[in-house]
């Protein structure tokens, strides 16, 4: 009996984990995207088996993704639609390698995504955001240290929640972090981040290994089993809370501080290769999304240095 797509997806996810060494987040994303395709096949009353994947079915699926409305009434961005298509195409490549009869992966074309928008805070906004987390209690000390470290090290939200106390070296003001693709890089702690972390850790009297923890509420067994470590969603809420408190009207999230970190470095003269390394980008083209932000400095350079020896 031929395996259904649901079982083959499990095989594929295990392949991503074991043979390809993909991160847990990547595996979760592939699972999410591919399950949506199976749900669509069921919705279309098409038996979810490899041989039933046809060009016409994929075309209908692309139309479905383009028109899909979420609970808040918004639709998928073009990049999100592309992620679904990429996941399906890579899954089909895997099936082909296993000699399973299905649609050829090259039949799926990936639409061109619009240029990525980089949202960042200017120095004055960063100062207001950090100053908004100001108070004597442990939760506020934690939040200030969290915001300071996000901006100081340019960390992804998934990276900052995974840090343990023993990872941090305040004396050297640096530590290693494991990022995308399981790559390890060195990140640095600014003087203000160091002070904020020190004040926060002095308020800690627990033995939980996590650097950033929630305040224990009740004795919920599931929460106790998970430990006190902050989740990515908790960090997102904290950042938005202080952005609102600081009166910042932009849609601020943890990645905004990562963008601000990179933009700040480039605008102050850092070379793009160094910024690439500090961000942990495997490809410099990823880092180059920030260069258009810093191009505003080019006009003043042009005005200052160009054509000075030309007489009119």
In tens, the pLDDT along 284-293 reads: 888 887 876 6
Among 186, 192, 177, residue whose Cα is nearest residue 145: 192
Instruction: Tell me the domains of the chain and their CATH numbers.
Output: 5-107 (1.10.150.130), 123-298 (1.10.443.10)
Angle between helices 254-267 and 272-279 (to 10 degrees): 160
More confidently predicted of 224 and 73: 73
Is the pTM higher than 0.75?
no
More confidently predicted of 296 and 276: 276
More confidently predicted of 223 and 51: 51
Q: What one-character DSSP code corresponds to residue 186?
A: E
Compute the average pLDDT of residues 222-230: 66
More confidently predicted of 106 and 24: 106
Q: How far apart are CA 203 and CA 193, in angstroms?
A: 16
**pLDDT value for 42:** 94
Above 70 in pLDDT, residue 77? yes
Residue 114's pLDDT band, with cuts at 50, 70 and 90, is low
Catalytic residue set: 156, 180, 255, 258, 281, 290
**pLDDT value for 309:** 64
| φ and ψ at residue 270, rounded to 5 degrees | -70, 145
Compute the average pLDDT of residues 47-71: 93
**pLDDT value for 33:** 96
Side-chain-facing half-sphere of 192: CA atoms under 13 Å: 13
Output the six-digit token pair for 62: 């692309």
**CA dihedral sign, ordered 153, 159, 162, 166:** negative
Cβ within 8 Å of residue 168, ≥6 positions away: 175, 189, 197, 211
More confidently predicted of 40 and 181: 40
Cβ within 8 Å of residue 46, ≥6 positions away: 52, 57
Compute the average pLDDT of residues 256-263: 92
Compute the average pLDDT of residues 113-138: 86
Residue 67's pLDDT band, with cuts at 50, 70 and 90, is very high
What are the start-end ranges of the H helices in the chain? Answer: 5-18, 24-43, 55-67, 78-97, 123-132, 138-153, 157-160, 191-202, 221-226, 232-245, 254-267, 272-279, 284-287, 291-294, 296-305
Q: What one-character DSSP code corresponds to residue 132?
A: H
**pLDDT value for 178:** 87
Residue 117's pLDDT band, with cuts at 50, 70 and 90, is low
**pLDDT value for 271:** 86
């Amino acid at each position: 009996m031929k395996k259904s797509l649901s079982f083959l997806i499990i095989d594929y996810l295990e392949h991503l984990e074991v043979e390809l060494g993909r991160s847990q987040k990547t595996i979760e994303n592939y699972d999410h995207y591919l399950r949506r395709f199976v749900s669509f096949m069921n919705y279309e009353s098409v038996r979810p088996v490899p041989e039933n994947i046809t060009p016409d079915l994929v075309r209908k699926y692309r139309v479905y993704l383009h028109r899909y409305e979420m609970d808040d009434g918004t639709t998928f961005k073009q990049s999100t639609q592309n992620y679904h298509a990429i996941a399906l195409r890579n899954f089909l490549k895997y099936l082909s390698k296993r000699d399973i009869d299905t649609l050829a992966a090259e039949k799926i074309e990936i639409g061109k995504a619009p240029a990525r928008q980089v949202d960042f805070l200017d120095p004055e906004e960063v100062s207001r955001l950090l100053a908004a987390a100001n108070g004597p209690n442990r939760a506020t000390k934690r939040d200030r240290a969290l915001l300071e470290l996000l901006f100081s090290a340019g960390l992804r939200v998934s990276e900052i929640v995974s840090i343990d106390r023993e990872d941090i070296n305040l004396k050297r003001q640096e530590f290693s972090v494991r990022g995308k693709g399981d790559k390890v890089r060195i990140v640095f702690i600014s003087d203000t981040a160091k002070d904020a972390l020190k004040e926060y850790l002095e308020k800690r009297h627990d033995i939980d290994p996590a650097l950033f923890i929630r305040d224990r509420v009740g004795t919920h067994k599931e929460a106790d089993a998970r430990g006190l470590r902050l989740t990515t969603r908790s960090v997102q809420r904290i950042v938005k809370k202080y952005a609102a408190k600081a009166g910042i009207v932009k849609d601020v999230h943890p990645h905004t501080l990562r963008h601000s970190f990179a933009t700040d470095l480039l605008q102050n003269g850092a070379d793009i290769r160094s910024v690439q390394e500090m961000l942990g980008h495997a490809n410099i083209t990823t880092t180059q999304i920030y260069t258009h932000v810093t191009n505003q400095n080019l006009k003043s350079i042009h005005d200052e240095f160009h054509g000075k020896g030309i007489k009119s």
